[in-house]
Amino acid sequence: MDNIVICGFMGCGKSTVGKCLAKKTGRKFVDMDAYIEKKAGMTVAMIFEKYGEQGFRDLEHEACVELAAENGLIIASGGGALTFERNVQAFRGKDTVILLDVPLEVIRVRLKNDTKRPLLQRPDKDRAMEELYNKRLPYYRKAADITIHGKDSPLKTACEIMNAVK
């Protein structure tokens, strides 16, 4: 049984929808950032602080390769993971990549009070978020086998994914 990999911008609902999907399908859910944190013994923010973004991206690539070698998982990728071709290639051909395509306006509301995402810890958070969203979206679209508009409830979105991958 191949993996289902959910990608999309931070705050689009990858983890929330992924947990619903895992519950409905009986598959194991893996949040890639939590997987990396457990393996590294520190939070994503700490990894960024200690090793920089490149150090984090290297750990992220290792996680992609390791998780792609598994079967039957629902994987919520990190927000930037599938913007890198080496990570896309880790899943290509075997696993199904789903893009949760959520408008920036919705994401802004969801991340309004977020203080955990290292790439948004700037005084110009709104502009930084818009620039990053516009930069990443074409990569997500290129990586995805299926696009789901994730504006609905997590349960409804999970059902849409189930129907799409049948």
| 133, burial (CB in 10 Å: exposed 0-12, middle 13-18, buried 19+) | buried
Model pLDDT for residues 109-165, shown as the tens digit of each residue: 887 776 676 556 667 777 888 999 999 999 999 999 999 998 888 999 999 999 999
In whole angstroms, give the CA distance from residue 13 to residue 11: 5
Domains of the chain: 4-165 (3.40.50.300)
In the structure encoding, which two tokens stand for residue 86, read together? 């080496």
The model scores a pTM over 0.85: yes
CB 128 within 8 A of CB 119: yes
What does DSSP assign to residue 111?
A: T
Region of poorest pLDDT, from 31-35, 39-43, 44-48, 121-125:
121-125
Mean pLDDT value across residues 94-112: 90
Q: Is the pLDDT of residue 6 over 80?
A: yes
In whole angstroms, give the CA distance from residue 32 to residue 138: 21
In whole angstroms, give the CA distance from residue 89 to residue 107: 27
